[in-house]
């Protein structure tokens, strides 16, 4: 995953296993997503289905983790991750870059975005297996990601992602499904999702909503999704 690039991130339960069984599961996954992924990725669209999910994100640029006495005392992002998955950090060392002009002689570390997604999936797997008494991998590995190279395809993906519950028969319109970004984009409620960029991409909110009322072309998207899934 390259900084500045846009990706469609998606995956499903291992052996088609359900990922979410109740409301608390969806909420906990989103909480972990905000903790692990939001620091390194800008989110444009997402949907959580019972046995799979889709996210449309842009990997942030020029992101560094400060490693200093002050940051350790103030519970920085890196410090939180290290506390929550110290075994992973013992086994994987990030490149350390010294900052000569740092007032407290601190250091910075370059984040590796795909590891943040791995942290998310590992943390959620531990939670879900503990809650349900399950064991083993919850998600298929490795998780799937496809670079999105132009705005036209990006807009189609947003509509596809929001219409996923419709496509799978869970509702008749994205407005009726609670576990997607459609409601965040069409409402005025506070959100960390980049609502402004999404609306501007469609020119205005009405055009965005109208696009979701049209028939969604899913064949092309479903075909490459299936091919990548078959390749594992």
DSSP string, 124-191: HHHHHHHHHT--S-SB-SSPEEEEE-SHHHHHHHHHHHHTHHHHTTS-SSGGG-SSBSHHHHHS-S--
Among the ranges given (4-18, 81-95, 168-182, 197-211), the one the predictor scored with the smallest mean pLDDT:
81-95
Q: What residue ranges in 15-138 does DSSP mark as E strands?
A: 41-48, 52-59, 65-67, 96-98, 107-109
**222 and 159 both lie in a single domain:** yes
Residue 189 and residue 223 share a domain: yes
- Clarify whether residues 15 and 33 are in a common domain: yes
- 130 and 167: one domain? yes
Vertex 21 angle, CA 123 and 23, to 5° = 85
Question: What is the number of structural domains in the chain?
Answer: 2
Q: What is the pLDDT of residues 44-93, one digit of tens each?
A: 999 999 999 999 999 988 776 654 444 444 445 544 444 444 444 444 43
172/102 same-domain check? no
User: CA 91 → CA 20, 65, 85, 86, 94, distances in Å?
Assistant: 30, 18, 10, 9, 10
CATH of the domain at 172: 3.30.70.1290
The half-sphere exposure of 141 on its side-chain side, counting CA atoms within 13 A, is 10
Do 69 and 157 share a domain, yes or no?
Answer: no
Tokens describing residue 143 = 């998780």
55 and 101 both lie in a single domain: no
Q: Are 163 and 212 in contact (CB under 8 A)?
A: yes
Q: What is the average pLDDT value for the chain, to the nearest integer?
A: 79
Same domain, 24 and 79: no
> What are the backbone dihedrals phi and psi of residue 19, each rounded to the nearest 5 degrees, phi first?
-100, -30
- Is the pLDDT at 143 greater than 80, yes or no? yes
β-pair partners for 217: none
Nearest Cα neighbor of 67 from 80, 49, 84, 85 is 80
Torsions phi, psi for 156 (to 5 deg)? -60, -40
User: Is residue 8 predicted with pLDDT exceeding 90?
Assistant: yes
132 and 96 together in one domain? no
Residue 108's pLDDT band (boundaries 50, 70, 90)? low
Same domain, 81 and 173: no
- Say whether pTM exceeds 0.85: no
Check whether residue 165 and residue 225 sit in a common domain.
yes
Please give the residue range of the domain that contains residue 156: 6-61+116-231
Classify residue 136 as left (phi > 0), alpha (psi -120 to 50) or beta: left
Average pLDDT over residues 162-182: 93
Domain's final residue, options 51, 79, 110: 110
């Amino acid at each position: 995953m390259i900084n500045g690039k846009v990706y469609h991130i998606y995956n499903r339960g291992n052996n088609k296993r359900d990922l979410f069984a109740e409301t608390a599961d969806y909420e906990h996954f989103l909480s972990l997503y905000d903790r692990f992924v939001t620091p390194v990725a800008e989110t444009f669209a997402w949907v959580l289905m019972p046995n799979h999910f889709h996210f449309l994100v842009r990997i942030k640029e020029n992101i560094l983790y400060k490693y200093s006495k002050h940051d350790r005392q103030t519970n920085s992002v890196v410090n939180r991750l290290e506390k929550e998955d110290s075994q992973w950090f013992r086994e994987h060392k990030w490149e350390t870059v010294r900052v000569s002009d740092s007032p407290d002689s601190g250091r910075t570390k370059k984040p590796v975005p795909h590891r943040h997604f791995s942290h998310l999936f590992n943390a959620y797997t531990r939670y879900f297996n503990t809650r349900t008494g399950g064991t083993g991998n919850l998600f298929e590995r490795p998780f799937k990601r496809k670079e999105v190279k132009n705005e036209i395809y990006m807009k189609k993906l947003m509509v596809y992602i929001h219409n996923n519950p419709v496509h799978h028969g869970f509702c008749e319109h994205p407005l009726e499904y609670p576990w997607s970004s459609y409601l965040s984009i069409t409402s005025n409620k506070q959100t960390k999702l980049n609502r402004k960029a999404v609306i501007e991409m469609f020119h205005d909110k009405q055009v965005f909503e109208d696009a979701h009322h049209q028939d969604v072309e899913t064949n092309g998207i479903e075909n490459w999704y299936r091919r990548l899934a078959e390749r594992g």
